[in-house]
Amino acid sequence: MASEFMTTSKDLITLSIATVTIILITSFITAYLAINKKSLIKNPSGIVSESKYPVRISLAFPVCNHKIAEKYGNKVLSRNYDNQSSRYDEKFKVHLLFANVDIKHVDRIEKALIMCKISAVNNRLLEFRLIDSGDAGAPKKRRIN
């Protein structure tokens, strides 16, 4: 009486070919992603960067944070990045970061929109600009979306 679960040499060859095929496909996918420097993982900020350069957008935030701290020091009450406006500009190979910052003055709190332009090639700050400023509760003059 022959067993239903008996393996033949044909079954072993088919299984070997399937295993080698799976290994080759995963190797090609891994090599493709490594060559094109693309990641299947999103950075913690939720902003997706498809940069082919070594500097990811998540590494640009500390550069902007440092400049904000250098410029305003302990006057900064809060800082929040606008994840919808912050982005990678492929044409110019830069990360554009937009931060809403509350700055404490003696008699008021200034609500500021700050833009940092950071190179995606070498992670250097290229531009730091106060785009919009206003007192707490005052309407904004201009807003970048």
Share of the chain above pLDDT 70, in %: 70
**Per-residue pLDDT tens over the stretch 60-117:** 999 999 999 999 999 999 999 998 999 999 889 999 999 999 999 999 999 999 999 9
Q: Is the pTM of this model over 0.85?
A: no
Share of the chain above pLDDT 90, in %: 45
* Domain chopping of the chain, boundaries: 8-38, 57-135
CA neighbours within 13 Å on the CB side: how many for 30? 6
* Phi and psi torsions of 51, nearest 5°: -60, 135
More confident residue, 130 or 144: 130
**Confidence bin at 34 (pLDDT 50/70/90):** low
Rounded to whole angstroms, how far apart are CA atoms 96 and 63? 12
**Confidence bin at 43 (pLDDT 50/70/90):** very low
